[in-house]
Amino acid sequence: MAHSVAQRTNEIGIRMALGASGSDLLKLVAGHASEMVAAGIVIGIVGELSLRRLLSGLLHEVSPADVSTFIVISILQVAVGLLASYIPARRATKVDPMVALRFE
């Protein structure tokens, strides 16, 4: 996420120059991170469902269809994804718009 925000420095500078607030930028970056996390969760669940038989031999004392495990891991992934996007987004809100526009 830090790399993604760094690549979008010009865009963030333009948005700030046009009057976007820090909370708007946080929502923008968090929304992008949420899309990536949601895609990862969906791909992971589809992968698990397709490889259920193979994984059943590797799991000990846990059912391959354990819903509580899916929920806990999904919540953990969302929390980590939002934290990973929050730190670079806060750094991006501190950038001076003129410096961001001259970035390249």
User: How does pLDDT run across 47-57, given as a tens digit for each residue?
Assistant: 888 887 777 77
Do 28 and 86 contact (CB within 8 A), yes or no? no
Select the highest-mean-pLDDT range: 18-22, 52-56, 60-64, 98-102.
18-22
Query: Which residue, 75, 76, 95, 82, is CA-closest to 32?
Result: 82
What is the span of the domain harbouring residue 12?
2-101
Query: Which residue, 92, 89, 88, 101, is CA-closest to 17?
Result: 101
Cα within 13 Å of Cα(8), Cβ side: 18
Crossing angle of the two packed helices 67-93 and 9-17, in degrees rounded to 10? 60
pLDDT value of position 75: 92
- The pTM score is 0.72
Q: How many domains does the chain have?
A: 1
